[in-house]
Every structure is written in structure tokens, then in C-alpha cells.
Amino acid sequence: MSEVLAIYGGSFNPPHLAHTLVCAYVLSAERVDRLLLVPTAKHPFDKPLAAFEHRVRMCELAMRRLHGVEVCTIESELPAPSLTLQTLEALQQRNPDARLRLVLGSDLLPETHAWHKFDAIERLAPPIVVQRAGHASDPSAPALPDISSTEVRRRLRAGEATGGLIDPEVAEYAVRHGLYR
């Protein structure tokens, strides 16, 4: 039987506790062997992001306790901007025997019409939709907390507490490197 790889991409600017909970949930609730956390190198809609290297390191810190999660830097090797389809195709080439599944928050479902060839994405990596509080597409499924990276950045910028929103080591890293100031 082939390995099932869950692919969870995003800005992770910074990675917060809901991102960690998504990974734990997918590994526990779905039939997947590994989860690749894929920070975007250059956002396709030109959102300003902290440097890729910093976001990768914060992802490593945030996921350090989750067995089965690997931070994957493949998007740094692909042409910009980062497109989900090209990332999935590259991952499939590197893992030819694996079956891919795309992890997608329910809050993103209304936006998929704007994605590059979402129909091809669905065929290559059938989505695992994770319910997000306030954006539930399946009211019978558990919803994960609605934590906003924007709010986390605002708190870091203002020097406010981030407890319960972000791993303390991630917050410490962001402050130490002057991110989001």
C-alpha cells in the first residue's frame, strides 16, 4: 500500500496554535502517514511576509513535538510566485509512489475559485477539509479555534501577550529577530 502524504501549505506568518492543532488533528483523524508543512516562499497574491528562512524556523519550532510532521522547503526551489498546483506536482515527482492529500481550512473553500487550476489540485491531492470556527462547512465536524496570524502579528508588534495563540518559543524567536515590528 502506498504512503499517504498530507500537504499543509500556508504563509505561516507566524505559525500559531491553530496551525499546530490542524496538524495534530489530521494525523489523528485521517489515514495519513506523514504531514508535510509547506511554508509559501512568495505569496501568489503578494501578501507581505516575514523572510522565508524565519518562517521555516518558526514552523520547525511550532511543530517540534509532533511526530509525523515535517517542515518542507520545496517552494524555495520552485518558480515564484508559489502556486499550490506546482508545489503538489513537484512533491508528487519526488514521492512518485505516494498518494497526496491537500489539507485545507474550511475558511479557504470560498476562495478556491481564485486558485490556479483548483480542479487539477483536487484530482492530484483530494482535499482534507479541516473545519475552522466561524467558517464551518460541515457543522457536524469539530471546529478548530479561529486564531488569526494578523492578530498575533499585531500583539507581537505592540509587545502584548500572545499566550494561548502562539507557541512561546515561536513568540520568543519572533521577538529576538525583530519580526513584525
CATH number of the domain to which 84 belongs: 3.40.50.620
Secondary structure letter of residue 176 according to DSSP: H
Locate cell 496551525: which residue?
19
Q: What's the pLDDT score for residue 119?
A: 95
Q: Which of 1, 19, 6, 8 is nearest to 166 (CA)?
A: 19
Residue 174 belongs to a domain: no
Residue 125 belongs to a domain: yes
Residues in the chain, pLDDT under 70: none
Instruction: Please give the Cα distance from 56 to 13 (Å, whole number).
Output: 10
Locate cell 505569496: which residue?
43
Range of the domain at 71: 4-146
Q: Which of 85, 155, 80 is nearest to 125 (CA)?
A: 85
Domain count within the chain: 1
Residue 111: Cβ-neighbour burial (10 angstroms; 0-12, 13-18, 19+): exposed
Residue 69 and residue 37 in contact, taking contact as beta carbons nearer than 8 Å: yes
Residue 58 belongs to a domain: yes
